[in-house]
Amino acid sequence: MSVNKVILVGNLGKDPEIRFTGSGSGVCKFPIATSERWRDKESGEMKERTEWHNITVWGKQGEQCNQYLSKGRQVYIEGGIRTTSYDDKQGQKRYFTEIIAQRVQFLGGQGGAERGASSGGGSGGGGGDGPPPPRNDDGPPVSDDDIPF
């Protein structure tokens, strides 16, 4: 038995981008940042490290992310890690790691500029006035080769 499960709470680094597969399924992508803070034992200084995560959300949930999320907005992501490889123009093998989100919850306020229809606070269990994003139980219907980006 194995488990590939990730839970992240972070802020969008830029507005989401959405594309559609040939069959019309939405694929939304955006980066989020998570930070950790600690006190350096030797100097006593506060230190901070930020990690960036590439998020991919499929289907109707991806369309809702594109509509209601914007740069700076805090978001809860639950999903799995996927790493793919490709050869760059110089023939070097490169790797790309992303989180395939199965569950997304909008947290906090709007963060950046408002996008699409107006949506307030959070969603899901947060009691906000925006629609709760559905779980992405249909999964990706096509392979990565079918995505036009």
Is 107 within the bounds of a domain?
yes
pLDDT at residue 108, as a whole number = 79
**Is 81 inside any structural domain?**
yes
Write down the pTM of the prediction. Answer: 0.71
Tens digits of per-residue pLDDT, 75-121? 999 999 999 999 999 999 999 999 999 999 999 765 544 343 333 33
Q: Evaluate if residue 122 carries a pLDDT over 80.
A: no
Give the Å distances, CA to CA, from 86 to 62, 92, 94.
25, 8, 5
CB atoms closer than 10 angstroms to residue 91? 6
Q: Count of alpha carbons within 13 Å of 32, Cβ hemisphere only?
A: 28
Task: Name every residue whose Cβ is closer than 8 Å to that of residue 108 and which is 6 or more positions away in sequence.
Answer: 73, 74, 121, 122
Residue 126 domain-assigned (yes or no): yes
Q: Both tokens of residue 105?
A: 């919850």
> Based on the structure, what is the number of domains in the chain?
1
**Domain annotation covers residue 94:** yes
CB 73 within 8 A of CB 14: no
Would residue 53 count as lying in a domain? yes
CA–CA separation, 29 and 144 (whole Å):
13
Tokens 């992240």 identify what position?
Answer: 8
Question: Alpha-carbon distance 116 to 95, whole Å?
Answer: 33
Cβ atoms of 101 and 110 within 8 Å: the answer is no
What is the residue range of 93's domain? 6-146
CATH number at residue 126: 2.40.50.140
Q: Is residue 85 part of a domain?
A: yes
pLDDT tens by residue, 23-47: 999 999 999 999 999 999 999 999 9
Question: Is residue 1 in a domain?
Answer: no
- Pairing of the two strands 17-20 and 26-39: antiparallel
Helices (H), 25-105: 59-68
